[in-house]
Structure 1
Amino acid sequence: MKEAIKPTRWRCLCAYDGTEFNGWQKQPNRKAVQDKIDEALAEIFGCTIRTIGAGRTDAGVHAAGQVFHFDASWKHPEDSLLQALRVRLPVGISPRMVTAVPDRFHAHISAQGKRYRYRICPGWAMPEKDRFVHSMKGRTLQLDRMKEAASFFLGTHDFAAFAANRGHGEKEPTVRKLWRSEWRVQGGELHFITEAKGYLYKMVRSMTGAMIDVGLGRMEPSEISEILLSSKRTGRVVSAPARGLSMEKVFYRLPKLARSK
């Protein structure tokens, strides 16, 4: 009897435009990014392939650096597997790299942190950018106030007041540590960049929505600290639209900035 060949573990870096998809995680209606990837892999290998992602993104949220892994036997070059995936996926999902990795690698468990970026257009966004930014449409934001507000999120806090319930009976610890929380001006846009080990459901969008209200003068920067300490979600926190948010990078080794904190 021939010994069964052990499948290879593959790590894939993937980008996607989340506008037309119901988030990353598989859905009953099969309209999630993971659904489309699993369908493509099933076609390639002729059997069901289980993918595991580094993290979930919500409906309408994008990714420049989502990572997932799967196990499968492939006798051809890595580039040919990447190409086979690309030609079978719909517009809006773009695998960037496929690499064979040791079995101990796990896209989710091995991840040490994630970086998210939220993009705001101070005016009216051009059509080619409108799917990826939140347009303020002429409303003026006070960036200094928003920077001050962002500083309150740094460190370890209970982020229950900036999280939403998924509605599936899921309960998870609400304490998170952020080692990066800052606003930058880039290409005429305002970018909020945050890094942490992990995030709660709608946490980054809720943080951003509150800081937008600070920038519009509807809330004082110090109120961010008060809301954090309350550990209760209230109507004072409104989530920013999904279109401006992107999972930019998954860290498997912490960046120097993280180590210095």
Structure 2
Amino acid sequence: MTKITNYSCIVINIKLTISYDGTRYSGWQIQKNARTIQAEIEKALRKILRKRIRITGAGRTDAGVHAKGQVANFHTDKKIPLKNLRSALNTYLPPEMSILRAKWVKAAFHSQFDAIEKKYRYTVFQGDADNPFLRPYYYKFSGKLDIRQMKKEARSLVGKHDFRAFQAKAASSKLKSTVRAIKSISVSKKGRFIFIDITADGFLHNMVRVIAGTLIEAGRGHMLPGSTKRILASGSRKAAGPTVPSKGLSLISIKY
């Protein structure tokens, strides 16, 4: 078993970079009677540190959403060799999760509030005969898609806008603002895969999945040119495309 030094010291703040397959989980955040990513990591930390630890995640990914670069932090009064901590966590965590890096950070660091940029990727598989080994990580679409039209509509979303039309129907009314700044959005194709990459200062609930659904509708020819501009102006969720399945979505990276 990995050894953790068991004596008190000044409280330290530790930043974790985490990768996970969200297929069998009810999202990041702890929920009653549900299996979540946060709960599994806290359970592992409790075994290692022998006390309850609460971690804070940068992004509250939904059920079925994956992550290649989720970030979380926690405070502890135990002196922990980071290499040992990472090894111990990966020993106790389920096989769908991996701690990629562990790092000491300033006491005031907050993984959610200090984030200045997040990048998500939505993956679409175009065709009938798909890959069963990769199936949990993409949305399968059998029809034809006009990539050029998807790119044109995506361009209108870059910049600072009110994205209320691209959030979940049941989104919280407690939000101070639905204005977000998309720094870049790209639509690319590699073989049968289409990747929609979006980098922004923040995202509304289901925002990436609604944008992806809207761009797919544009690619199908089900929307007139300039539709994304009109959807933004309308502020109406009904004007945008469908919310595509969560399994095609991955949190790629977070910048501080």
| Number of matched pairs | 248
- Aligned counterparts of 1:23 and 1:36: Cα–Cα separation in 2: 11
Q: Do the aligned residues in 2 keep the contact of 1:40 with 1:89 (CA within 8 Å)?
A: yes
Shift of 1:235: 6.0
State the identity %: 34
Structure 1 spans left out of the alignment, 5+ residues: 253-261
Give the match for residue 257 of structure 1.
Answer: none
Given residue 88 of structure 2, which amino acid in structure 1 is its aligned partner? Answer: A
Q: Do the aligned residues in 2 keep the contact of 1:166 with 1:201 (CA within 8 Å)?
A: no
Q: Which runs of 4+ in 1 moved over 6 A?
A: none
Q: Which of 46, 57, 82 is equivalent to 1:53? A: 57
Shift of 1:221: 3.5
CA pair 106-23 structure 1, distance change in 2 beyond 3 A? same
Matches within 5 A, 1:133-152: 133-137=138-142, 139-152=143-156
Work out whether 1:201 is the aligned partner of 2:205. yes
- Aligned counterparts of 1:93 and 1:161: Cα–Cα separation in 2: 33
Give the match for residue 106 of structure 1.
Answer: 110
Work out whether 1:174 is the aligned partner of 2:178. yes
Given residue 119 of structure 1, which amino acid in structure 2 is its aligned partner? Answer: T
Work out whether 1:44 is the aligned partner of 2:29. no
Given residue 79 of structure 1, which amino acid in structure 2 is its aligned partner? Answer: K
RMSD: 1.6
- Aligned counterparts of 2:70 and 2:58: Cα–Cα separation in 1: 7
Residues 108-133 of structure 1 show CA distances to partners (whole Å, capped at 9, x for unaligned) of 12111100011111124301110101
Given residue 211 of structure 2, which amino acid in structure 1 is its aligned partner? Answer: M
Matches within 5 A, 1:11-30: 11-30=15-34
Work out whether 1:158 is the aligned partner of 2:158. no
Q: Do the aligned residues in 1 keep the contact of 2:9 with 2:79 (CA within 8 Å)?
A: no
Q: Which of 208, 215, 227 is equivalent to 1:211? A: 215
CA pair 165-38 structure 1, distance change in 2 beyond 3 A? farther
Structure 2 spans left out of the alignment, 5+ residues: 1-7
